[in-house]
């Protein structure tokens, strides 16, 4: 997720991470806010219970690619 506290990562690393990401971009704080708003809305309340939602743009399904990210830089 892109945020103001990410200076520990080089621009090269962030660009490569976005390139390898399933959605071809890094997440934003708005991406996180969208799922929170949905879960708090009338559309979700009362029927969705006990669920963990990964807000990672598909990274959790791409373990092999994530492992190779550092090796390619």
As a whole number, mean pLDDT of residues 32-57 equals 85
3-state secondary structure of 51: coil
Question: Does 17 score more than 80 pLDDT?
Answer: yes
Q: How confident is the model at residue 20 (pLDDT cuts 50, 70, 90)?
A: confident
3-state secondary structure of 53: coil
Name which residue leads in pLDDT, 46 or 19.
19
The model's pTM is: 0.67
Question: 1-12, pLDDT tens digit by residue?
Answer: 777 766 778 889
pLDDT for 64 beyond 70: no
Among 37, 36, 28, CA closest to 56: 28
Residue with tokens 């390619």: 72
Q: Which residues are within 8 A (CB) of 27 and not within 5 positions of it... i.e. 6 or more apart?
A: 1, 2, 55, 56, 57
Report the alpha-carbon distance of residue 35 to residue 43 in Å, rounded. Answer: 12
Residue 57, phi-psi category: left (phi > 0), alpha (psi -120 to 50), beta (remainder):
left
């Amino acid at each position: 997720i892109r945020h103001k506290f990410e200076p520990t990562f080089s621009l090269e690393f962030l660009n490569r991470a976005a390139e390898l990401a399933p959605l071809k971009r890094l997440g934003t704080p708005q991406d996180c806010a969208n799922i929170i708003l949905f879960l708090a809305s009338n559309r979700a309340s009362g029927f969705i219970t006990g669920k963990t939602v990964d807000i990672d743009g598909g990274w959790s399904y791409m373990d092999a690619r994530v492992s190779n990210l550092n090796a390619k830089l």
